[in-house]
């Protein structure tokens, strides 16, 4: 089938690449000429495992073409998929881009060609979108067209795998005058070994939202459980491990730590609470999900301060990992950025490292005063304490014994419960995580007194070697 995919951001590119893997022919359209030119030569605007490989293969074998010529693409397509952004700079819902895109696409689409919205949309927009499309067709003097939604459930970092092996495919029907739209979309997914559910558009839309809200709820539950485990001196890993055997519960998305970030979960929780509230519906559970999630960041900073004798000012803190999760360069809603800002505002000197240099550079712009190191060891060098904020594989493989030696004092707060307690103790660390207590190797006597902020800053300046964009300023 020939498909036009409009909007070549994260969702559009994964969808386009995935469809070519199933043998479809895809014409990818984007209005950003620079992005189009880069993509045409195989350069992706984002980091996503396996995506560059499948896009390069599809460009080479001709299954994927990239263009900024919208009309050509939609006139020759059997199906038009729209994947433009539906969030604004602050990360809240916005539907302007989608409305503009529909105004360009809908009047020109041949009769019978289904228009499928793959972007995540707010539930209250479903009706508006349906009537806007109807009006655009009638104003253009054209026949009504099938309008469907097809929410994606892919996770950054594993998006290609999630697309090609979905748990389910959800098709939401907003309008299907001759019943052929849903049929064609089913055909598109015939290679997917998963149930295909055809529902009303509003149900499909809320199914997508509900899935993310539930995942967020699981994470906040795990974080509350972790706090209880710390209180009772239990291990959250052991507890969740035992709970997970109950098939009604399961074990996924119950990892405690600094909480969820990203462009989806945080905003969908807060926007849903806000939208419900505006309509007179209090959503106390989701409200609490957000409260717990934000609390985790504060707990992380308190934990560090506690291990440093209550004083962060003048302390040199190494932060490992900046992206909101591993295997992505996405910093949107990343707990690490909020934590770095909080530490800086307490007078700490923060030097961070992320395995993706592009992400680290952008983080330095977003957090003035935070210095960026070019390796984990450079960040850890002479640090008073360290925090792990993204569970990149590289940190699992780090020589933690050597790391303990280069630090001023071997203190690590693991904000992702990513490292084994026994291993960190053997490496000589005072090691704290969430719901797994704080452990000290025997006979380790701390805490060294702070060197003072000025001295720590000067020290950092001298270190120099691989520090990129050391943007330590007054506001730090
Ligand atoms: C999320 C959903 O998982 C996808 O199904 C959905 O398609 C996507 O949003 C979307 O709406 O587009 P994503 O934002 O990529 O995917 O990230 P997640 O894997 O959900 O992780 C979100 C955050 O939760 C990360 O910061 C992660 O570190 C954190 N997390 C995850 C935990 O703190 N604990 C866990 O047990 C799992």
| Cβ < 6 A, ligand 1 pocket | 120, 152-156, 212, 215, 219, 253-255, 257, 259-262, 264-265, 324-325
Chain segment 305-318, per-residue pLDDT in tens: 999 999 999 999 99
Chain segment 41-53, per-residue pLDDT in tens: 989 999 999 999 9
| Closest protein CA for atom 11 of ligand 1 | 264
**pLDDT value for 438:** 87
**pLDDT value for 464:** 39
Contact 4, 47 (CB under 8 A): no
**Residue 264 designated active-site:** yes
**pLDDT value for 441:** 86
**pLDDT value for 240:** 98
Q: How far is the CA of 447 from the centre of ligand 1 (A)?
A: 36
Q: Ligand 1 test: best mutation among 159, 208, 265, 435, most atoms within 8 Å of CB?
A: 265
Q: Which atom of ligand 1 is nearest to the CA of 151?
A: 7
| Closest protein CA for atom 5 of ligand 1 | 153
Residues of the chain with pLDDT under 70: 443-476
Q: How far is the CA of 254 from the centre of ligand 1 (A)?
A: 11
Q: How far is the CA of 154 from the centre of ligand 1 (A)?
A: 9
């Amino acid at each position: 089938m020939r498909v036009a995919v409009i909007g070549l951001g994260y969702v559009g590119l994964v969808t386009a690449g995935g469809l070519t893997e199933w043998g479809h022919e895809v014409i990818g359209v984007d209005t950003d000429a620079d992005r189009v030119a880069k993509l045409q030569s195989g350069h992706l605007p984002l980091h996503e495992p396996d995506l560059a490989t499948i896009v390069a293969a599809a460009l080479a074998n001709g299954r994927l073409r990239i263009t900024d010529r919208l009309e050509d693409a939609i006139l020759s397509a059997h199906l038009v998929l729209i994947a433009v952004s539906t969030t604004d700079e602050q990360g809240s819902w916005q539907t302007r881009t989608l409305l503009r895109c529909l105004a360009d696409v809908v009047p020109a689409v041949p009769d019978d060609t289904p228009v499928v919205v793959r972007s995540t949309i707010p539930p209250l927009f479903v009706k508006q979108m349906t009537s806007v499309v109807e009006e655009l067709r009638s104003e253009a003097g054209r026949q009504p067209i099938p309008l469907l939604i097809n929410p994606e459930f892919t996770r950054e970092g594993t998006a290609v795998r999630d697309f090609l092996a979905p748990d389910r495919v959800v098709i939401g029907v907003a309008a299907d005058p001759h019943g052929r739209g849903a049929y064609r979309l089913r055909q598109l997914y015939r290679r997917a070994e998963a149930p295909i559910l055809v529902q009303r558009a509003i149900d499909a839309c809320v199914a997508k939202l509900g899935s993310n809200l539930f995942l967020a709820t699981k994470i906040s539950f795990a974080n509350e459980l972790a706090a209880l485990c710390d209180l009772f001196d239990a291990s959250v890993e052991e507890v969740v491990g035992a709970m997970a055997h109950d098939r009604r519960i399961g074990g996924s998305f119950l990892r405690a730590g600094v909480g969820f970030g990203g462009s989806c979960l945080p905003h969908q929780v807060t926007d849903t609470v806000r939208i419900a509230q505006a309509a007179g519906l209090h959503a106390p559970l989701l409200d609490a999900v957000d409260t717990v999630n934000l609390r985790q960041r504060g707990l992380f900073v308190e934990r560090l301060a506690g291990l440093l004798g209550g004083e962060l000012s003048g302390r040199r803190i190494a932060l490992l990992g900046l992206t909101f999760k591993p295997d992505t360069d996405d910093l949107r809603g990343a707990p690490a950025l909020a934590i770095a800002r909080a530490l800086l505002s307490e007078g700490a000197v923060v030097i961070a490292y992320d395995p993706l240099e592009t992400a680290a550079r952008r983080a330095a712009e977003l957090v003035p005063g935070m210095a960026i190191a070019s390796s984990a060891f450079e960040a850890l060098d002479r640090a008073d304490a360290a925090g792990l904020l993204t569970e990149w594989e590289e940190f699992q493989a780090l020589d933690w014994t050597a790391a303990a030696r280069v630090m001023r004092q071997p203190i690590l707060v693991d904000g992702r419960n990513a490292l084994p307690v026994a291993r960190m103790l053997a490496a000589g660390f005072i090691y704290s995580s969430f719901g797994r207590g704080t452990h000290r190797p025997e006979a380790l006597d701390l805490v060294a007194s702070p060197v003072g902020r000025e001295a720590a800053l000067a020290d950092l300046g001298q270190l120099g070697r691989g520090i990129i964009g050391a943007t330590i300023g007054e506001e730090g």
